[in-house]
Chain A
Amino acid sequence: MTKVVAVTGNEAVANAFRQVEPDVCAAYPITPQTELMQRFASFVSDGKVKTELVLVESEHSALSACVGAAAAGGRVATATASQGLALAWEILFIASGFRLPIVMPVVNRALSAPINIHCDHSDAMGARDSGWIQLWSENAQEAYDNTIQAFRIAEHMDIRLPVMICYDGFIISHSIERIEYLDDELVKKFVGEYKPLYPLLDVDKPKSYGPLILTDLYMEVRRSQAEVYKKVPKVVLEVAKEFKKISGRSYGLFEAYRLDDAEIGVVILNSAAGTTKDVIDEYRAQGVKVGLLKPRLFRPFPYEEVGEALKHLKAVCVLDRADGFGGSFGPLYLDIAASLCNFKEKPILINRIYGLGGRDYMPEHAQQVIEELQKIAKTGKVKILKEYIGVRE
């Protein structure tokens, strides 16, 4: 039985946690994630979940405790944002190196300095090479759906890797949207019983976690870990297929919106994709063949599939809500460029940086980009490869 509600993104994800009922959750407050774990703490206080909460003294300890709890042999989740993710950065690599299926929503927020509590993607982009699977979410429904699917993906026996669910701070975390909740029992059945792998608490078969491995074997360990990421897209699609059966909602590795017959395209993550799709509809009504690609599985990045989906276009603008300082491009741009670089025929690429620190992304920004792409498609010439939009110069 589907239940339609009006809730914030954080509330929706807290409800997904309630339905999944992890054995242990660690929590530490940080804007704009705080509401999520606050709501979940109420479920614990009211006895609605069996979960044991660890109310740690930092995000570094939150993730450290999650690693300990997951190694102990049970289902584990936490959530963070921004500085909290940056503080826990060291432990991200340990969680993935130990192959522990920890689920962690990241409510995207800008990084200091200057301090800023609003949305951009610098936090999660800083963790993109940490070995975590990243699922990005346009709205509260996707954040809720991705959270439920994340447990299945993380805990899949072919994978056993931690998963981040990214959704935009305030824009999604604090806005009230229409959400379809799945029935509690349906979610529990979908996620299933947790299957421990080499649990530390099996004292009769003692295991050592965290050995020292030097030059003789380190590279082989890394190589074997790299192999696991190749299996992730298949599992993500399998889980999505099953999820569709219980929800009716389709998920892929990315969303291709009016892209098949398009000549120009926009690549964009999370909430700004919604605004862009509306603007695309307006241009389509005028006969402009424009489409959009919104990555969902950002790590591991499905290079081949994304390249195939974009290669026929004449011009593509990659919109990044994070910059790569030091003369480089935005992080999403680099992945799109890598997806296309080996095709003979490929679109001209430009990179635009938008929405840093919560700066609004307005329909006119999408219009500006589409106008420019039309010119590039016509002339084959690029004036500026990378620049900021929506900024006072």
Chain B
Amino acid sequence: MATPLNLKELSKQELRFTSGHRLCAGCAAPTVVKMILLAACDWPVVVASSTGCLEVSSCISTYTAWKVPWIHQAFENAAATLSGVETMYRSLKKQGKLDKDIKFIAICGDGGTYDIGFQSLSGAMERWHNMLYVCYNNEAYMNTGIQRSGATPTYADTTTCPAGSVIPGKPQPRKDLTKIMAAHGIPYVAQAAPSHWPDLMKKVRKALEIEGPKFMNIFTPCNRGWRTRTDDAILLSRLAVETCFWPLYEVENGVTRVTYKPKEKKPVVEFLKAQGRFKHLFEPGKEKLIEQIQEMIDKNWERLLKEEEMFSSKEEAK
């Protein structure tokens, strides 16, 4: 029987990502990793990571925080790497040399997913490998020192698009990777956030139960890069969800479902004001920029709701 995803049962489970790793105090990444591995507690898993914060901090010299088989090669190829591991698994299983039901999970940052690893990810999904690819998304290249990535939101201040006297941070909108992955036609795509942990873990569990390629984009606050209080990761995650800056939804077999709708959608300014990376937007005369961000969020949220509605009305019609 599957382990119920409640605190009572989960607290009895062994943590397969140990403490003693060297991620920063207050980093949400290890929290997200623990949630993923707890949701996967009923299976043996093999994890692949791309180069990045999680990778450099979790396996150093002769020490490792991973109690599951883990592989890291380079920045851009975690999906290709895991596709090789998964293919060998299929080959050996077919030959009767293995009988276990093993799950394959990639856990990579947004640089290794949205940007340099995008081709490798897209290829692995198109080849229909039986794996779950998770992006722990902290919205910039944090490991190299907070450079902008394809996941960095508009007007965020980073070290390569610093908020200056002429340019107010990153001028472009972030790439909607979750939608792009859904457009691959794979069986399961979802967005999640650690503040809403039962939702996150249910999605991981569901993804692992589905055959074929799956993708999850998990919001992962970074206090160093976002210049926030060390202990605010979960609070920021909640604000991102409540403001619809980071909607929680899933696309299962092409059907979109919003898994959490805030009772009262908060203005995005509440999410922005807690963060140093958006500090410049609160200078006099920059009000328009915050309005622009709010407009983008409203538009995306409405579109998401319309997508959901479109599918639900179709379902009803059946």
Contacts and interface: CB of A to CB of B under 8 A. Distances in A.
* A, B co-complexed: yes
Given A61-B80, A90-B74, A211 B85 contact: no
Contacts of A61: 77, 80, 83, 119-120, 123-124
B71 interface: yes
Interface string B80-116: 1111111111111011001010100000000000000
B82 A68 contact: yes
A191 to B, nearest CB: 16
B197 interface: no
Given A60-B76, A64-B73, A211-B59, A55 B88 contact: no
Contacts, number: 162
A55 B124 CA distance: 10
Interface stretch (A8-16, A196-204, A292-300): A196-204
Interface in A48-99: 50-52, 54-58, 60-62, 64-74, 76, 90-91, 94
B68 interface: yes
A50 B91 CA distance: 8
Nearest to A217: B61
A73 B102 CA distance: 14
Interface footprint category on B: 35 or more
Interface string A3-44: 000000000000000000001101000000000000000000
A60 B64 contact: no
A52 B55 contact: no
B10 interface: no
Given A72-B88, A208-B64, A54 B83 contact: yes
B175 interface: no
B127 interface: yes
A206 B87 contact: no
B144 to A, nearest CB: 14
A369 B16 CA distance: 66
Given A68-B48, A73-B92, 11 more contacts: A23-B88, A51-B91, A54-B84, A64-B81, A68-B86, A72-B46, A91-B73, A201-B102, A203-B46, A206-B66, A208-B69
A206 B70 contact: yes
A182 B70 CA distance: 40
Interface residues of A, number: 44
B55 A67 contact: no
B126 A24 contact: no
A208 B59 CA distance: 7
Contacts of A210: 55, 59, 71-73
20 contacts: A23-B92, A51-B91, A52-B94, A54-B87, A56-B127, A61-B124, A64-B77, A65-B83, A65-B84, A65-B87, A68-B82, A71-B84, A72-B88, A72-B92, A203-B68, A203-B69, A210-B59, A211-B72, A216-B61, A217-B61
Q: Which of B55, B73, B89 has the most CB of A within 10 A?
A: B73
Contact of A64 (B84, B88, B90, B91): B84
A284 B79 CA distance: 58
B92 to A, nearest CB: 6
Contacts of B61: 211-214, 216-217
A209 B71 contact: yes
A65 B88 CA distance: 10
A272 B90 CA distance: 43
B145 interface: no
A202 to B, nearest CB: 7
Nearest to B98: A201
A355 to B, nearest CB: 34
Contact of A74 (B46, B76, B88): B88
Contact of A72 (B45, B60, B84): B84
Nearest to A52: B91
Contacts of B70: 206-209
Nearest to A213: B61
Nearest to A68: B84
Task: Please provide the 5 A-B residue pairs with the shortest distance between their CB atoms, ordered closest to farther.
Answer: A68-B84, A57-B123, A65-B84, A210-B72, A72-B88
B122 interface: yes
A212 B58 CA distance: 9
A213 B60 CA distance: 6
A94 B95 contact: no
B44 interface: yes
B85 A69 contact: yes
Interface in A332-383: none
A337 B120 CA distance: 42
B123 A201 contact: no
B258 to A, nearest CB: 32
B73 A67 contact: yes
B56 to A, nearest CB: 5
B67 interface: yes
Interface in A151-202: 200-202
A90 B95 CA distance: 32
B80 A69 contact: no
Nearest to A73: B88
A68 B60 contact: no
Contacts of A62: 80
B119 A200 contact: no
